[in-house]
Each structure stands twice: as structure tokens, then as C-alpha cells.
Amino acid sequence: MPQKIKKAWPWTDLVIATRNDHKVAELDTLLSGELGLRVLGLKGMEGIPEIVEDRDTFEGNAVKKAETVAGVLNRPVVADDSGLAVDALNGDPGVYSARFAGPGATDAQNNAKLLQALQGVPESRRNASFICVIALAVPGEETRVVRGECTGRIAVSPRGEHGFGYDPLFFLPDRGVTMAEAGPEVKRRISHRARASVKLLQLLRERYDFSR
């Protein structure tokens, strides 16, 4: 079978459709080292509309954000949608993870609501998954998605000072710590976003030539 010819990647960077500095930094750590690509967030970019995340799946929201921003900039864009799915809550908070306690909720408020919702639920039924879906939208090409997951349990109280979101409550049984206690080095290897990012890296390598 003849080797598939890869398309040249003419940019020195890649836009991620977020204004969240944590997400920009995490993806930049991976792609800058592996492909020499600098990751740019949306801060300071003009003409980017506020995108309502109104889809009922992580895939739907990620694709909507990536395609909307790629259409404005006329260049490749990645976007992620991520959240926490708790088995005992039938997959909630899911796509509503960032606003579980209401629009504009803080991490502390979301964590507090989650603990309230799980009050009285035994440890054996507190299984949960962090899920991250990343969409890659390239003008003129089919949008592609990758998915990463990290499994664990919801702790009975917050622990740890690292990370953000639900990290202080997300307990990793095989390590005996929460994601917030594990620290950034561990998180960069095992988190849902790290696993999705590795799949994004594989996708980029398979389809494009980054030699310049």
C-alpha cells in the first residue's frame, strides 16, 4: 500500500478556542515540545463572538466552538469541551460541569453542589469520569474529534491545592490522592485533557507534515 502523502502545515502556531489560560498552557506544553507549535488562546483576538455551549454532548460543543472560530479566522482551530460525569448522578453534571451551580458559578460553588448532590452516597457508588473531547477544525476539511477519559471517585471533601475545577474532589484510587493533590506533573500525564491532547498530537502527526 503506498504511503499516504501528508499535507504541509504552513503555520507556526495553533489556535485553541478558549480564553482559559490553564487550557492554553496545558496544550502548549505538549505541542510546543513535540511539534514546535505555539498554542494561542483567544485573549486579545478581535471579532470572536461569544459561543453558547448549547449542545447536549461534549462532541457537539467542541465541534461548534472549533468550527465557529475557524470560520472567523479562516485557519485551523482546536476546541475542547470537558467535564465530569458521575455514575450515581446518571452522568451529571456532564456538559453543565462549569455551570453546575448556576451561570457564573465558581469552582468552590460547583464543588459544594456536587457534594450536596452526593450526600449519603457510599464510596462504592461515587465512581466518576473526567471527560475531554477535542475537535480540530481546518477550513475546507472535515472536522475531526478525539476523546480522553480519566476514571476515579468523588471524595467526601476537597483535598489539595493544585489544579482547578473539580480536581480537589476527584480521587484517584490507584494513587491514593485527589487530582489536586497529585500536582501538575502527574496531571499532565494522566488527566482526561492530557489523554485527549496525546490523541490530538497523533492525529496531527498522521495527517500533516510539520517540517519547515
> What pLDDT is attached to residue 147?
97
Average pLDDT (81-98) is 96
Is 81 catalytic? The answer is yes
Catalytic position from the list 28, 81, 107, 174: 81
> What pLDDT is attached to residue 189?
86
Q: Please say if the pLDDT value at position 81 is more than 70.
A: yes
- What residue segments make up the domains of the chain, in order of their start? 7-209
Q: Please say if the pLDDT value at position 29 is more than 90.
A: no
Q: What is the DSSP letter of 43?
A: T
For residue 187, what are the contacts with CB-CB under 8 A and spacing of at least 6?
Answer: 162, 163, 167, 179, 194
With cell 446518571, the residue in question is: 90
Hey, is 41 helix, strand or coil?
coil
Q: How confident is the model at residue 212 (pLDDT cuts 50, 70, 90)?
A: low
The tens digit of pLDDT for each residue in 37-67 reads 899 999 989 889 989 889 999 999 999 999 9
In 5-28, which positions are buried (b, 16+ CB within 10 angstroms) versus exposed (e)? eeeebeeeebbbbbeeeebbebbb
Q: What is the DSSP letter of 42?
A: S
With cell 480537589, the residue in question is: 168
Is 162 marked as binding a ligand? no
Average pLDDT (111-135) is 96
> What pLDDT is attached to residue 69?
96
Cell numbers that stand for 143 in this block: 472536522
Q: What is the DSSP letter of 93?
A: B
> What pLDDT is attached to residue 30?
81
Is 164 marked as binding a ligand? yes
| pLDDT: which is higher, 149 or 31 | 149
| pLDDT: which is higher, 25 or 80 | 80
Mean of per-residue pLDDT scores for the chain: 92
Report the percent of the chain where pLDDT is more than 90: 71
Distances (CA, A) of 211 to 14, 136, 141: 15, 20, 21
Amino acid of residue 172: L
CATH topology for the 7-209 domain: Maf protein (3.90.950)
Is 23 marked as binding a ligand? yes
With cell 448556576, the residue in question is: 102
Is 143 marked as binding a ligand? no
Contact of 19 with 42, CB cutoff 8 Å = yes
